[in-house]
Amino acid sequence: MITFTWNGYKFSIVQFDMGIFEKDMTGHSHSKNSYELHYIIGGKGTLATSNTVYSLSKGNFFVTGPNIYHQQSTDKEDPLQEIFVYLQTGGEKTNDSLVSAFLSTHFYFCKNKELQKYFEMMLCENQEKKLGYDAAVGAIMQLLLTHITRIYLPQFNNISENNGNLNDRRFFIIESAFIDNPTNITLAALSESIGLCERQTQRLLKKYYGKSFTQKKEEAAKKDDI
């Protein structure tokens, strides 16, 4: 069993492997705090839950969490092939929004080719078991769970950067502008390059450099003459 931590929350990998369905999988549900991740890499079949039947083919991904009844049927001439990961969670409460989103989603079904690489990396590590195997699998699982949760929460995938990071980029642009073109730089051009109006640019320069645009330009020009 491999244990890893994702965003401060403990998970245990009870089992993971690749399986070829020579016969149908009997309907069942998982216990509390248990989640199984399934990725179909080949073949055909169906997935039946308590109220819906889904067609399965290469690229399908689905999660079956606590108390979710599911049954998989395989095509006898083109058997299903899947990579699966069976997880047991820590059980304690968490305030982390990503972990909470994953834990609260007991069933999910989609088609997503991007997830395949993570499952295949897991499978490769499991087959080769090289030095650092446990740590590598844990790291891949953190990436996989992060990607899965991004699929769950697409509305939060474009997170605005905070003002500190934005200002860091602005400072770099400002300082580069005064170094590269101290003679011909204009307040209008500088303001446009950092996404502010001229008045805001003047305030930014005064607050963080203690100088007006004209003073900064004169200072840069003097240094350029040396």
What is the residue-averaged pLDDT of the chain?
88
When mean pLDDT is compared over 34-48, 95-109, 144-158, 210-224, the highest value belongs to 34-48
Q: Which long-range contacts (CB under 8 A, 24 or more apart) does 151-158 make?
A: 151/108, 151/110, 151/112, 152/101, 152/102, 152/105, 152/108, 153/101
Reported as a single tens digit per residue, the pLDDT across 50-95 is: 999 999 999 999 999 999 999 999 999 999 999 999 999 987 777 7
